Structure formats: structure tokens, C-alpha cells
């Protein structure tokens, strides 16, 4: 595996690969890799000749400086995991490399996606996400980009940016990878106690219950039952539970058999914010 820390080195290497007509896939990450990330590396390998993984803890998408400071950075373990998956290239830049100017301005029209759910709870988050992903897209110029379904709203935001900027990139969405009991894998899970991980399983169970009952109960019933189920766990603080149309993420008021729906949830436990989702009729 080749490891590059500067844009120029990476671009020079990728230029050679493109001249050889190699198909390139990009897997952008913030490190602290787990099986969810590795499943995206495998998906990328199945879809392209060359896999580029980036590890960069992007400061512009953090609302809370303490969250940025606490974010895990086990880089030696990450490198070992990527080598184990025979990833071709790791891009490991510094903040100065990606943001050479401290007063850089970025703004993209994300419509309502920037104001709903994660957009509402974390103002500016998706501007920061699109800022760094657009930089990586321009740098790597991938044919394919792989993202995980766990960050469902983020995937919709990236697709919106690809469409808006008319980028020749195919977006591949990998399914959420879960623990044996069902907890969605996340780099932040490492900050949870074993009891915290056990209590957090109510999120998965509630999403499954909502999916299983989707055809039999009204949206209002499903919403009420989900909220009651999560709030009954005293160690969790629910931020939101919502049933939405998949592309717009507008909260659904009535069912329409021609549309697809997703349940979104965000909650706090032991000072850690967890998000999850589940497709309901796909």
C-alpha cells in the first residue's frame, strides 16, 4: 500500500494510473476504522482497479471543539487494517495540507437537507462535510465514491452535491454494518461502556420494530411507539425519531405506495451521540 501525505505526491501517482486507464474508487474516512469502513474498501475493490482510502479528521464539520479533540485517531491500527484489505493507496494529509488558508470560504446550496435532522441539530456540519469531500473529489477524481448507509443524510447530501456540481462520479452506498447484537458500528462506539453498548441496542430494536410494523400501522402509531420505546431506556436521551421520504428526508405525514421511506434516529448515551437508520419498504 502506498501512503501519501501531500496532494502533489498523490496527484502525480494517480496521473500515472489514469494514463494506464485504471478505474479509481475513493473511500473517504475520518479513521478509527472498523468493519463498516472495511466493507466499503471491499466494495470499492469489487468496483474498481485502484482503491484510494483517505483518513482525515475534518475540523470544519465539527460543531463542538471537544468532540473534535476526543475523536479517536488510532492511525497505526488503521494502516494495519487497510494493508490487511490490500488497499492500494492511503491519503493521510495534515490540516494545513487540506486547508492552506485559514479564511477559506465554502458554501453550497443543500436546500432543506441542510436544515432537517442532522442539519438542524449540527448547524454547518454538512457545509463542512461537502467542503472536504469536494476537495477530495477534485484531488482524486474518482470514478466511484463509496459511503456507508449509516450516515444516511450525509449520503443524500453527497449525492445532491454530485448532481449540483455535475460531477462524473458514481456513488455507491454500502449497507450499515452492525455488531452481532445489532448496534450500528461507529468510531464513537469505542467511548461507550459495555452497559452503554447494551442499552444503545434499543435504537436497533426500535428501528426493526418500525420496519416490521410499517405495513400494518399508521405513521402516527409507529412514531408514538418508537418514541415511547427509546425514552423508556433511562440512560438514553432521544434527539429525534422520524419517518421520512428517502430522497427529500421530509417527514412523512401519510403513506404513498409509490414512495420509499426511511426511519432516522439520533440519541445521546454516556455523553456520546449515536445515529442510526433503517429503510422501511425497500
Which phi and psi angles does 275 have, rounded to 5°? -125, 155
Residue 144 pLDDT class (50, 70, 90 cuts): very high
DSSP 107-124: ----GGGGTSTHHHHSTT
Grid cell, residue 281, equals 419498504
Count CB atoms within 10 A of the CB of residue 132: 21
Give me the residues paired with residue 210 across strands. Answer: none
The DSSP symbol for 233 reads: S
Active site residues: 37
Residue 212 pLDDT class (50, 70, 90 cuts): very high
Would you call 95 helix, strand, or coil by DSSP? helix
pLDDT digits (tens, 9 = 90+) for 11-56: 999 999 999 999 999 999 999 999 999 999 999 999 999 999 999 9
Would you call 274 helix, strand, or coil by DSSP? strand
Q: What is the pTM of this model?
A: 0.94
Q: Cell 456540481 sits at which residue?
A: 165
Helices 194-213 and 219-231 pack at an angle, to 10 degrees, of: 170
Tell me: pLDDT of 274 over 80. yes
Amino acid at each position: 500500500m502506498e501512503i501519501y501525505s501531500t496532494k502533489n505526491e498523490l496527484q502525480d501517482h494517480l496521473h500515472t494510473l489514469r494514463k494506464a486507464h485504471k478505474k479509481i474508487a475513493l473511500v473517504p474516512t475520518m479513521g478509527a476504522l472498523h468493519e463498516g469502513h472495511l466493507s466499503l474498501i471491499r466494495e470499492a475493490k469489487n468496483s474498481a482497479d485502484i482503491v484510494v482510502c483517505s483518513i482525515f479528521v475534518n475540523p470544519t464539520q465539527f460543531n463542538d471543539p471537544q468532540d473534535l479533540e476526543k475523536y479517536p485517531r488510532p492511525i497505526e491500527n488503521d494502516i494495519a487494517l487497510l494493508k490487511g484489505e490490500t488497499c492500494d493507496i492511503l491519503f493521510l494529509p495534515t490540516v494545513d495540507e487540506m486547508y492552506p488558508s485559514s479564511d477559506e470560504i465554502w458554501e453550497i446550496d443543500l436546500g432543506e437537507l441542510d436544515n432537517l435532522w442532522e442539519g438542524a441539530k449540527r448547524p454547518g456540519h454538512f457545509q463542512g462535510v461537502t467542503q472536504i469531500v469536494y476537495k477530495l473529489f477534485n484531488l482524486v477524481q474518482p470514478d466511484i465514491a463509496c459511503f456507508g448507509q449509516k450516515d444516511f443524510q450525509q449520503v443524500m447530501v453527497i449525492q445532491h452535491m454530485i448532481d449540483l456540481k455535475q460531477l462524473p462520479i458514481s456513488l455507491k452506498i454500502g449497507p450499515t454494518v452492525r455488531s452481532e447484537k445489532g448496534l450500528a458500528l461507529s468510531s464513537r462506539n469505542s467511548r461507550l461502556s459495555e452497559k452503554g453498548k447494551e442499552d444503545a441496542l434499543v435504537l436497533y430494536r426500535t428501528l426493526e420494530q418500525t420496519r416490521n410494523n410499517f405495513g400494518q400501522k399508521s405513521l402516527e402509531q409507529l412514531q408514538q411507539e418508537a418514541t415511547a420505546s427509546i425514552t423508556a431506556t433511562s440512560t438514553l436521551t432521544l434527539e429525534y425519531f422520524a419517518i421520512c421520504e428517502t430522497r427529500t428526508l421530509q417527514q412523512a405525514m401519510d403513506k404513498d405506495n409509490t414512495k420509499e421511506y426511511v426511519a432516522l434516529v439520533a440519541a445521546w448515551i454516556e455523553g456520546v451521540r449515536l445515529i442510526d437508520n433503517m429503510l422501511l419498504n425497500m
